[in-house]
A and B are shown apart, each in its own frame.
Chain A
Amino acid sequence: MTFRQFAFNNVLRNKRLYIAYFLSSMFTVMVFFTFAIFAFHPAFSNGSVNQNALLGMAAAGGIIYVFSFFFVLYSMSSFLQSRKKEFGLLIMLGATNKQIRLMVFLENILIGFFATVGGILAGLLFAKAILLVAENVLIISESLPFYFPTLATVVTFGSFMLLFFFISVFVSFILRTNKLTDLVKGDKQSKGEPKASIFLSVLAALLLLIGYGTAIYVEGVGVVYAMIPVIIVVTLGTYLLFTQLSVFFIRRFKNNTSIFWRKTNMLLFSDLSFRMKDNARTFFMVAIISTVAFSAIGSLYGFQSYLTKGVKEMNPFTVTYSPWRDDSKEIIENDINKINAILEEENVEAKMEDMELTYYEMLDQDRQVLITKASDYNRFAALIGEETLNLEKDKAIVVEQSDAMLTQGTKASEVLMASNVPLKSGEEIKPSHVIKSDVLGELNGYYVVNDDIYNQLGTVVRSDHSAAWKAEDGQTEQVIEAGRKLDERLDHKAFSVEYQLYEINKAFGPILFIGLFIGIVFFVSAGSFLYFRLFTDLDEEKRKFRSIAKIGLTETELKKVVNRQIALLFFSPIVVALVHGIVALTALSHFFDYNLTVESSLVLGSFALIQIVYFLIVRFFYVKQVKRMVF
């Protein structure tokens, strides 16, 4: 048996020991590979997707790669931690440091090779699924058929063999060989309980409060300036929260014997404080990574809904037509006929209304103001099923658009309410109240007056023609197709909401997809960190529970302790991340001045749900393992 054979057999015959490390490495390769399959898809390279999206994808690939590096490094080092005893034994038998490093290096290369190959194979299985998902999220005109990803395979294989090579070199160098007895004793030694300083604990709470306070308080553009400082403050605060404040609370708790000595609390919390040093780092990392995932996905989703919802709310009609200012009557008539023809061509059943928008000079305002008669307004309102107005004689009201898109400065309605509607006779009519409606698209607001009064108004300064169509529900596809044709043939005079939304989604799709992908990668790896944390201590846990079971520990008590222990491990960082996420998304909604509650709760809620499912699965296997050993 040569040394090389020894190192290889050590891995191959010890599959159980290496499986966790192997699987997590394979997982990272798989993630990268599936992303590469997507990114290198021939449908993109022929230039149908814009350059920015491709750049974004390249950046995303880079982020995944760098992240993979740290992830593999972390799994490697936690894996080596659990093998101290083995190294001790080898040194005792006379292995030199150099040989141990060589062994670790060889093992790593071997595992790395198989993980890369395995990851690529597993990725191929998922390729079709990921392409299908991409096709649906992306809204691209071409479909994304399955192809044999030669380029993606080569790139993945090359970059990951390189990654594993560097990690092997890196790890074998940082592998410190401590005193032999320490190694052989392995993890039996106490790492010492972490101590908490009151000053730093208070600082932690303070930093978090300041960070949260600022993030929630600032509005508009201030959010951008506050972002970097808040991120730094909150990150620091989170670190101190886990390393200091939590330790502080646990210690306080331990000193309270009436709680600490109650039933299984003692077992649970003594362990918690004992492990806090290791846990704190993991918690911190998981909390930050998850926060990044939550905020990224939350903001992208929120941004998309902000864009689409705004457009939708402002444009209740299927198609609106507004001609250029100098278009003659014939052109307008011609255009309207064209639109009707196109709608008919696409089998869209729609009703149409049109009117003249008349603008008047106002005495105390430096702009022309739209004044419409109630009957015109009501015709348009009826078309989209809005409430019609029943105006008494010599009454006027102000209409402004609903505040989906708020402009800076004074509201349109305030300006209009402040002045009166002048009549030919020199009389003036004071507007009575403001209503919100999207019936007519006029950003600056307008007056609606009774038909009789309308006839008594002064001279019309400007008059625009406006026509609107409302299609019956359930014709989305035809409407989009019609919208495309309208856009082509009427050079932007006709506006179709559905088509506009389709275009926004199409442009936004790749960004959303990439964001979603990276967010999920981050979140899943956060889960893996927790898994590693839990299973590194598994052997010691088993030993501990066995020795307690000898004295007498019922299965229910064991389950209770283990259950709470895992719950604390799994949920404390995620709860912190969720709170961070809520604050971040609140700040975002302040920035847009747009309510993101539904979107935030949807994103954060689904992550919380996933974490709960993950917790249940891990708990099932963990309890099974411990129970098999103990009872």
Chain B
Amino acid sequence: MLRLSKVSKIYEGKVAYRALTDINLEIEKGEFVSIMGPSGSGKTTLLNIISTNDMPTTGEVEIEGENPHKLKKNALAKFRRNELGFIFQDFNLLHTLTVEENIVLPLTLDGTRVKEMKEKARDIAESLGISAIMKKRTYEISGGQAQRVAIARAMIHKPKLLLADEPTGNLDSKASKDVMKMLEEINDKEKTSLLMVTHDPQAASYSDRVIFIRDGKLHSEIHRGENRQAFFQKIIDMLSLMGGDGNDFSSVRV
């Protein structure tokens, strides 16, 4: 589904900075993978490269056998719109639009028929439990609801790959749990591949596999067994092993 081979990223500037070094990574169809690592380890850079918002300096990215970085600008925008789904820490909803309008935005840009958009929006809102707030504006809803709206927007065109950047970063523990359950369910039911960057071991414990990176290099990875509780423990252990305490990762990323 997704394959990265020898991806490196160097930020040019007065002081050149090597953010990623020779990353090799493969994600199967329908897999749910988390990427963890301390601040400045290159998680976000990695996600930006996969989400085609940034170009790798060397190396290749393939999504379903296609290298999106080779596409022209306009085609790339269409690719993002049709093949990928995005969930952000700060939701990235447009406050000038209502919830419903936010959800159908990617379809509107594609010129889908209104009836079809309405149907899709209704279906997805129902499954995410946000039908009641469809006519509200984004500043009238809670953070948890906002993130669910963002998930609805990311899922409305049934993307092949869903990319989540700290989806629980701005949420309280209850809302975090809800959102993670929802993502797990989507992954389960729709067989959507899911790649998530997170600091939160609790959130990471919902995934099938956690990849740890440090200083721009792959550090290790662990797989989830039957028990989520045990998996959570293993993640905590790994984080402490990587240096520092398991819970001292600030939520401010580079």
Give chain A's interface residues, CB within 8 Å of chain B.
188-190, 257-258, 261-267, 270-271, 273-274, 544, 547-557, 631
Contact = CB atoms under 8 A, between A and B. Distances in A.
Interface stretch (B58-66, B103-111, B201-209): B103-111
B92 interface: yes
B80 interface: yes
Contacts of A544: 94
Given A548-B94, A554-B74, A556-B74, A261 B53 contact: no
State which size class the interface on B falls in: 20 to 34
A263 B80 CA distance: 16
Nearest to A190: B139
A552 B96 contact: no
Interface in B39-94: 51, 53, 73-74, 77-82, 84, 86, 88, 92, 94
B222 to A, nearest CB: 30
A554 B77 contact: yes
Given A551-B80, A555-B73, A274 B109 contact: no
B10 interface: no
A549 B51 CA distance: 11
B137 interface: yes
B108 A552 contact: no
Given A190-B95, A271-B96, A550-B86, A263 B109 contact: yes
Chain A at the B interface: SS class: helix
Contact of A266 (B78, B80, B86, B105): B105
A263 B74 CA distance: 15
A555 B109 CA distance: 12
Chain B at the A interface: SS class: helix
B53 A550 contact: yes
Contact of A555 (B74, B96, B153): B74
Given A262-B114, A266-B105, A274-B95, 17 more contacts: A189-B139, A190-B95, A257-B118, A261-B117, A264-B109, A274-B96, A547-B94, A550-B53, A551-B92, A551-B105, A552-B77, A552-B82, A552-B106, A552-B109, A553-B77, A553-B81, A555-B74
Q: Which of B88, B97, B109, B118 has the most CB of A within 10 A?
A: B109
A269 to B, nearest CB: 9
16 contacts: A189-B139, A190-B95, A257-B114, A262-B108, A262-B114, A263-B108, A266-B97, A266-B105, A270-B101, A548-B94, A551-B80, A551-B86, A552-B82, A552-B109, A553-B77, A555-B74
Given A266-B97, A631-B73, A551 B81 contact: yes
Contacts of B74: 554-556
B80 A552 contact: yes
Contacts of B84: 552
Nearest to A544: B94
B150 to A, nearest CB: 10
A549 B106 CA distance: 11
B50 to A, nearest CB: 13
A270 B96 contact: yes
A547 B92 contact: yes
Nearest to B137: A190
Given A274-B96, A550-B53, A554-B73, A266 B79 contact: no
Given A274-B96, A631-B73, A261 B80 contact: no
